[in-house]
Amino acid sequence: MDLLGSIMNAMDKPPSLSEAEKNLIKKRKAEIEKRQKLEKEKLKRFKERVEGKLDSYFKDHKNVMLKFDTMDQICRSIVHESAESKGLLSYAFGIDGVDRYIRIYRKENPPSPDEIAARKRGEPWNEQIQQQLFEKREKDKLMEEEYSKGKKEKFVPNSNYKDKYAHLIGQDAALDAAKKTETNKTYGFVPSENKKDSRSIEQTMADIRAKKRQKLAHDKEETE
């Protein structure tokens, strides 16, 4: 016998269960399986009742919304699943573990975003509240349109200044004065042709000397 085998034989073996203990474990296992089976059958019956209720209620096209009572998460999941299989919309409202419940709607009559928001806040909702919100939105929309329209309109004076002074300076003069003036592009500028001096240096110096002699002669005549 090898070393490993001798060690295993030297170790204490776990005590074997008695028949009574075996029977107790078997009994507990059977009870658990029974409870699970009962719970499964219970949920199955619940699903059948939900589907039957949905069929009978929404068979009448006048009915557009159905509310279920408060229920736990497992039952809510069954209601959501059943509604989806029937082509309906389902929404859960309320606080989980306190008053969480489900409302079912037809797809062609879904709840408005305002209704969903109000019910999630735990606030009441009815047709009167919906109508009031609709009227408020329409009023705000009209006010906004009027405000935007007023900003876009240009100011138009009550009288034309050309007509205002026509009796003083005449109609033709008033019209001429009212014409849009254009800036003279050459104002303040000297053409480059005028800036260019075509004289030679000698001619320029001679002209300067002649001007000086002329000025001296003029001054002399004034002093005599």
Please, which pLDDT band fits residue 50 given cuts at 50, 70 and 90? Answer: very high
Residue 182: which pLDDT band, with cuts at 50, 70 and 90? very low
Residue 86 confidence (pLDDT): 95
Rounded CA-CA distance 186/181 in Å is 15
Q: How confident is the model at residue 204 (pLDDT cuts 50, 70, 90)?
A: confident
What are the residue boundaries of the structural domains of the chain, listed by start? Answer: 24-124, 126-179
Which numeric CATH code is attached to 24-124? 3.30.1370.50
Cα dihedral: 93, 97, 99, 103 (round 10)? 40
The CA-atom distances, in angstroms, between 105 and each of 97, 108, 119, 174, 210 are 23, 8, 14, 74, 113
Q: Look up residue 221 and give its two tokens.
A: 């005549």
SS3 state of residue 96: coil
* Cα 215 to Cα 97: distance, rounded to the nearest angstrom: 118
Burial class (CB in 10 A: 0-12, 13-18, 19+), 89: middle
pLDDT for position 181: 47
More confident residue, 122 or 130: 122
